[in-house]
Structure 1
């Protein structure tokens, strides 16, 4: 794919021009006078999920983004999808409605992306209902690991991992405080959404017990699009969090939490894109509910380098019930996941210049799905089989860091790992069954000749087991009119396209090579400023991609063809849908992520490019590719006034890597502006006011698919007050 290589060369030359002045400034930055407050050392952003051995995200031999609370708040988000502009190579393909939130990482989506909420797997996957059932007001950090991570997490991590962590007492209570209260309210104009939330935290005087509670309510209506049209939508959301921790000693912590999300909405059966209700896409009253209950312990005895243990037990339950507005029909999809994960770190000193950390553990989880349709003969829902999948896995990872031998400068880190998984997917009664095992290796290498510079390379294999929907789907997929038969008194007759199970599906597998480099520089333009930048190129071969093969008899569309391919229902007429292994894909991409922060200003951003083709046919990969996209977020800090002024810019090139010209999308540039006022002292200390305008120019642009316009100009405001006692 030479076009990507040419673009990478241009970016490399541009990057050299951009970074060279900064390296020169580093020599004399210490001469600039600053206050003591400005001279504080910037803190590293820590990644937990990239290796399960917490380390600075910069040092990871791969690409991981950690979006912390301060950056989440700057987006003033309505859904968690809003903040993913800050993550290169990751986006949501849902369209303007929140009810279809569906994340994509490096072109892979659905079961190819793992989602964790406080360490609990979220396994709900649906064709149209979305996957993310959590309010952004609950979230403290979002971590996105890009690229295969099956060596730690097993099936599903072909594209990567999204791990959201909810707020805890340690995030809210400063030293010496035992009580915390926060109240917030907000509004945005594009869908007339109003929000109210409250958070409370308490810690015992001896620090042994802490509690956190949170409640958020949102209500919104129709969405004003950049095209000038209004997209019918209406939803009402109530989210809550209860969290507790108990520390009987300095070495042991017991924890538990309950997270609930409930959303009632009126929208089409398929809420994604710019779909509106009508024939074949009925208006439904949708009731989405999610509940995650988890608990566990952390045990880290001081002085014992062999034990640093985490144990998590959880139960996640997600369901979407749809009640058609004009027909007496109700459908339901319910997925329950129960699981247990255990991981430990053992650390060894290998002399004065080397160290080794072994991270190892095991995991068991079970996904169980049930579907219902009040209009079917047997009460079962087509395409939503009652089925169960069980996974058992064990993993081992080494992290060896050592000084380079002899005269070579710097240090080297080697991170090899492997995981074994056994999975079984079955229907009740054992009519169909898939029983397989898989090994997933990975190895990463980092070399830092100096502490400010790193280069890395990684090889990883990933896999995704066929889901129960893909393997065992049966029942009606859709109904179509039989145009070969004369219409009756009430219009044309209809025939059904039926799902056909395929228990012979093979897992999707991938082999990915990735290499890159990064810089981490301080004191460039003033003391205590910091520039970090990290870029990488990756190439993946993905085999046995699972896709839906839909066959419809030609006679259904033409009376002239009915004699050769008669129209009818089901396999006898070839009117079927079946999931099959259909493609071998080649995907390559480039990602750049950078951040500059100083006492007086900041600039962060990213660039993502991806290309891919079917290795057999040479066609572009539909649903995988995206336009080259640049994101920038910068602003000025006026410390004397406790004020920040910022702007965000998203620019995408024309998207023409499509097999059908009708799917081409124009390039676009969208700008946002925002202001944050947060008094640091006086009677208004604890108040925060966020004001902003998204899509300032009311641009009509398309991100998901051609014809799917995004929201137009959006005025946003949030007022909050917090206080610790």
Structure 2
């Protein structure tokens, strides 16, 4: 295996570089725009949102030092990242649903290529501005796949990097991780200008990293040899007071030598293969915002993912058009917020060479949704009975799929959502709601008809024949019905959010393998009952230079027919942390504790664990900053809910110079 140079010494020099102390102090970042919450599609205080939302921004060392998706999301309670650390083997599970039941969006573009053990989202974390994790059934807003939640990945723009009074600049970031002997760099150029035809802004970012074998928990090694090239180009033009055009292109290319199944620790046959993964996401859009209470975004997008190996090539391309908006109305005693939208997409799968399980097929989808929130009443302190909010929403999705043999699947699905909240005061809110969600079958599940795996002989008198996929164009969508109730409370230095959910899921799509008949077929078989809770407690004392938090989550469940436990559950998990600010807030030292209770997921006992991370964020000067994160300090052996080894001890670092 090729190994890049050892990172430990390089990172130590990078983080303690004496040039950092030679430049003057202060950050001077512009104020952030109002937060558009993924779970509501409107700008709002997350305290008011009737669901559990976690947000990571680029100033958090968890995100700013991340080299891959696992580094950014792997410590979130109740969220599991499958795989052994390889970028193109990482998939996300949440609230009892696997990769196909959790929708991932990159700058609003759906990421959902279905390629067996390969991942379905490809992004360089160094380009991200923010990550939002919205938990719960959200098909009424986002359609298929949003059964366990939605993860929104948003890339950085010029306004995020320009400081007050600046019109142009550049940023050079050096990053690394010792566990994968990885070193990388990214260069961003950005600016804005007032022209005779209106203000414009733009950003161009280029990234490059090289990595070697990945050290997992307890010193185990996942063989890998990879290099990643990334590009982000985006800009906007305010052509009139209420009209803004925007465009962007995000490109990802990874060349790797790794096992055929990148989610395995080591190749079963000892062989490695070359694999090139490319992803392009382009969009051209228009924003109409005639008032602070009204906005409509319309965009045309093209998404293309290609996975190329010596014996197989898989390409998915999606062309879509969509409009999403919100509008707030005041009727005196009644406030109303409307979120609405429509979209249409056409997606194609094209196999090449001897690709298996990835049929040549197309799928067209169309959707229309509306969500109305009505708020009325006065708080108890004002002589009222409290403020009540009623939310009513629904989305209709229709899809039609067809393969090269003319076999088609035509389905429509309505996803309603109802919620009610009561706030006796400005500091306390109780909510409850009902939502239905669905997941359309993938083209591979509907139409795969190639060879699944080769036959073999276990002795002179017992041989297993070649196994072939059997198409099932009558396969129906997975569906779920969820009740969720919770509360939000904040008084003084304390804040608490908690929710309990109960989900009945039907028609789970399972894969049935008949060894002796030599067939593999996707069928609707399972009915699941999932339940659990999420809780977030935060303490931010006024006037003291520290804050602390605890986040908890647990997902339980079983098959409603057999009573057996399901394989996508998560035990009681906790993330605890304390941050302490020094040097007038320019230096923050932090501790994170990751804990999980032992549990039996049905096939084998899963041991519990307790891990400790240390992190640092230091704004040396207005121009120079660094972030450090030391993960799994004791290098403890631990396992994720899917049985894969967790991350091992690793020092991740980021040093940025901005001018």
Q: Same fold (TM over 0.5)?
A: yes
Q: How far apart are the structure 2 equivalents of 1:597 and 1:237?
A: 39
Q: Is 1:593 aligned to 2:583, yes or no?
A: no
Checking the alignment, whether the CA contact within 8 Å between 1:72 and 1:83 is kept in structure 2 is no
Aligned to 1:146: 135
Aligned to 1:581: 524
Q: How far apart are the structure 2 equivalents of 1:95 and 1:212?
A: 33
From the superposition, tell whether residues 64 and 693 of structure 1 become closer, same or farther in structure 2 (CA, over 3 Å).
closer
Among 616, 621, 639, the alignment partner of 2:566 is 621
Partner-residue secondary structure (3-state), 1:636: strand
Q: How far apart are the structure 1 equivalents of 2:329 and 2:548?
A: 39
Partner-residue secondary structure (3-state), 1:604: strand
Partner-residue secondary structure (3-state), 2:53: strand
Aligned to 1:364: 344
Aligned to 1:635: 579
Give the superposition deviation at 1:311. Answer: 0.3
From the superposition, tell whether residues 691 and 507 of structure 1 become closer, same or farther in structure 2 (CA, over 3 Å).
closer
- Output the aligned Cα RMSD: 2.2
Checking the alignment, whether the CA contact within 8 Å between 1:123 and 1:337 is kept in structure 2 is no
Q: Is 1:339 aligned to 2:276, yes or no?
A: no
Checking the alignment, whether the CA contact within 8 Å between 1:85 and 1:631 is kept in structure 2 is no
1:56-455 equivalence runs, <5 A: 56-71=45-60, 76-85=65-74, 87-205=76-194, 208-274=199-265, 276-279=266-269, 282-302=271-291, 308-323=295-310, 330-351=311-332, 353-374=333-354, 381-404=355-378, 407-430=383-406, 432-455=407-430
Q: How far apart are the structure 2 equivalents of 1:414 and 1:46?
A: 21
Q: How far apart are the structure 2 equivalents of 1:718 and 1:70?
A: 11
Give the superposition deviation at 1:91. Answer: 2.3
Q: Is 1:468 aligned to 2:443, yes or no?
A: yes
Q: How far apart are the structure 2 equivalents of 1:144 and 1:476?
A: 37
Q: Which structure 2 segments of 5+ residues have no match?
A: 1-25
Q: How far apart are the structure 2 equivalents of 1:453 and 1:45?
A: 22
Checking the alignment, whether the CA contact within 8 Å between 1:409 and 1:450 is kept in structure 2 is no
Checking the alignment, whether the CA contact within 8 Å between 1:396 and 1:418 is kept in structure 2 is yes
Write out per-residue CA displacement over residues 2-32 of structure 1, whole angstroms, 9 at most, x where no aligned residue: xxxxxxxxxxxxxxxxxxxxxxxxxxxxxxx
Q: How far apart are the structure 1 equivalents of 2:77 and 2:636?
A: 22
Checking the alignment, whether the CA contact within 8 Å between 1:47 and 1:57 is kept in structure 2 is no
Give the superposition deviation at 1:609. Answer: 0.5
Q: How far apart are the structure 2 equivalents of 1:509 and 1:121?
A: 19
Give the superposition deviation at 1:480. Answer: 2.8
Checking the alignment, whether the CA contact within 8 Å between 1:123 and 1:367 is kept in structure 2 is no
Scaled by the length of structure 2, what TM-score is found? 0.91
Partner-residue secondary structure (3-state), 1:712: coil
Give the superposition deviation at 1:80. Answer: 2.6
Aligned to 1:710: 646
Q: How far apart are the structure 2 equivalents of 1:718 and 1:710?
A: 22
Partner-residue secondary structure (3-state), 2:118: coil
Q: Which structure 1 segments of 5+ residues have no match?
A: 1-36, 324-329, 375-380, 487-491, 525-530, 554-573
1:527-676 equivalence runs, <5 A: 531-553=494-516, 574-597=517-540, 600-622=545-567, 624-640=568-584, 642-658=586-602, 660=603, 663-676=604-617
Aligned to 1:568: none
Checking the alignment, whether the CA contact within 8 Å between 2:379 and 2:386 is kept in structure 1 is no
From the superposition, tell whether residues 112 and 229 of structure 1 become closer, same or farther in structure 2 (CA, over 3 Å).
closer
Give the superposition deviation at 1:704. Answer: 4.4
Q: How far apart are the structure 2 equivalents of 1:231 and 1:361?
A: 44
Q: How far apart are the structure 1 equivalents of 2:390 and 2:50?
A: 9
May I ask how many residue pairs the two structures share in their alignment?
624
Partner-residue secondary structure (3-state), 2:218: coil
Write out per-residue CA displacement over residues 371-409 of structure 1, whole angstroms, 9 at most, x where no aligned residue: 1234xxxxxx32111111111111111011111599544
Checking the alignment, whether the CA contact within 8 Å between 1:700 and 1:710 is kept in structure 2 is yes
Write out per-residue CA displacement over residues 234-276 of structure 1, whole angstroms, 9 at most, x where no aligned residue: 11001110001000122111000000000011100101031x2
Scaled by the length of structure 1, what TM-score is found? 0.83
Partner-residue secondary structure (3-state), 1:417: strand
Q: How far apart are the structure 2 equivalents of 1:410 and 1:333?
A: 56
Q: How far apart are the structure 1 equivalents of 2:33 and 2:601?
A: 38
From the superposition, tell whether residues 127 and 156 of structure 1 become closer, same or farther in structure 2 (CA, over 3 Å).
same
Aligned to 1:501: 471
Give the superposition deviation at 1:99. Answer: 2.2
Checking the alignment, whether the CA contact within 8 Å between 1:600 and 1:639 is kept in structure 2 is no
Checking the alignment, whether the CA contact within 8 Å between 1:44 and 1:56 is kept in structure 2 is no
Checking the alignment, whether the CA contact within 8 Å between 2:215 and 2:647 is kept in structure 1 is yes
Q: How far apart are the structure 2 equivalents of 1:343 and 1:299?
A: 11
Checking the alignment, whether the CA contact within 8 Å between 1:45 and 1:57 is kept in structure 2 is no
Checking the alignment, whether the CA contact within 8 Å between 1:88 and 1:593 is kept in structure 2 is no
Checking the alignment, whether the CA contact within 8 Å between 1:47 and 1:143 is kept in structure 2 is no
Q: How far apart are the structure 2 equivalents of 1:627 and 1:154?
A: 28
Write out per-residue CA displacement over residues 327-372 of structure 1, whole angstroms, 9 at most, x where no aligned residue: xxx1111111111111232332211x32112222211012211112
Give the superposition deviation at 1:49. Answer: 2.1
Q: How far apart are the structure 2 equivalents of 1:197 and 1:600?
A: 32
Write out per-residue CA displacement over residues 276-335 of structure 1, whole angstroms, 9 at most, x where no aligned residue: 2243x74210100000001111101138x6x52110110000111122xxxxxx111111
Checking the alignment, whether the CA contact within 8 Å between 1:363 and 1:393 is kept in structure 2 is yes
Partner-residue secondary structure (3-state), 1:620: coil
Aligned to 1:527: none
From the superposition, tell whether residues 296 and 151 of structure 1 become closer, same or farther in structure 2 (CA, over 3 Å).
same
Partner-residue secondary structure (3-state), 2:606: coil
Aligned to 1:12: none
From the superposition, tell whether residues 692 and 474 of structure 1 become closer, same or farther in structure 2 (CA, over 3 Å).
same
Aligned to 1:564: none
Which deviates the most, 511-520 or 364-373? 364-373
Asked which structure has the greater CA Rg, the reply is 1
Partner-residue secondary structure (3-state), 1:83: helix
